[in-house]
Amino acid sequence: MAKKKKTKSEKAADVTAEQGTPPSGTLPSKVGERSPSRASTDLVRYDPLRSYLNEIRHIPTLSREDERELALKYLEEGDKGAGYKLVLANLRLVVMIAKEYQRNTQNVLDLVQEGNIGLLEAVKKFDPFRGVRFPSYAVYWVRAYMLRYLIANVRLVKVGTTQAQRKLFFNLVKEKEKLEREGFRPEAKLLAERLNVKESEVLEMQQRLALPDLSVDAPMGKGEDATDMHGLLSDGAASVEDVLVEDQFADAVRERIETFKIDADEKERAIIEQRMLNEDPATLQVIADQFGVSRERIRQIESRLKDRLKDYLSESLGLGESGQVIIEDEEL
């Protein structure tokens, strides 16, 4: 009887069985082993922070004695290699601190980079004779550089321009999360009490953080009527009407002062002309020497003169109770 001729697929199956390759659908022989067909099609998400940690994980930490020895070499001998070793041994410290602020930035590696610069600064400033370990000292510089970066880059428009605002910026989100974990609703009044600031300051910072950055070049409207925010912003320059009013008021003040000087004595006229109306005011001592009196005496005369002149200008110009004439002090 004639043998049935095998098809190509059947021959391939025989070869596979002879080589011991597992049939389709079974697990690889070793845990974690990938078959060649799947290795070429699987997509693995790349984590740059994890990759960076893998690179620095092999760097050993330093003992207190090693830190002191390296710091002394850098301080006394200028050994840059010793300073380099101090930096390398504390790279993991920078990553740990960066994770505390990762909710404030999209790329933690940017914070790590700034923290590493702070680490370099810590090496330059570290004093091994104070008995403090280098990581404890370096934390200050690492945080300082990270916080400076966040303030400058978290938004296009700075949200913290003063020390108090910067402190509120970093503590507000942290305190809100803390209150939510404790079961409280993070309202502005409660946050203000916890942070020991005014409720208005909390509300202002929340508005800054909530509102997006807008470009003044962004189009507003559609079609031929489309414009941008340049047309809505004030140019900051005074209008023609305001300039005219200010000039008229200045002329009126000068006329009243000239009238006031008629009844003033010689010392008072000298104070008005040489101190109040002069772009480069004379000192009290200069006027005192002119009249052969003490500096304190001229100061007393000037103080009384300013009160009289203020009342006279307010009355003669018809400013009333709501008006105000400000005469700046020149303590020279």
pLDDT at residue 6, as a whole number: 53
pLDDT at residue 18, as a whole number: 45
Among 129, 170, 128, residue whose Cα is nearest residue 151: 170
Q: What is the pLDDT of residues 271-314, one digit of tens each?
A: 988 988 888 888 999 999 999 999 999 999 999 999 888 888 88
Helix (H) or strand (E) holding 208, with range, is helix 199-210
pLDDT at residue 198, as a whole number: 80
- Ranges of the chain whose pLDDT falls below 70: 1-44, 104, 154-170, 173, 206-238, 319-332
Neighbours of 135 (CB within 10 A): 18
Pick the CATH number of 240-316 from 1.10.10, 3.30.70, 3.30.300, 1.10.150: 1.10.10
Distances (CA, A) of 255 to 216, 249, 263, 314: 46, 10, 14, 13
pTM of this structure: 0.43
pLDDT at residue 280, as a whole number: 87
pLDDT at residue 70, as a whole number: 93
Evaluate whether 59 touches 88 at the Cβ level (below 8 Å).
Answer: yes
Among 310, 302, 266, residue whose Cα is nearest residue 284: 302
pLDDT at residue 89, as a whole number: 93
pLDDT at residue 289, as a whole number: 92
pLDDT at residue 72, as a whole number: 92
Break the chain into its structural domains and give their ranges: 52-153, 163-210, 240-316
pLDDT at residue 19, as a whole number: 42
Which CATH code fits 52-153?
A: 1.20.120.1810
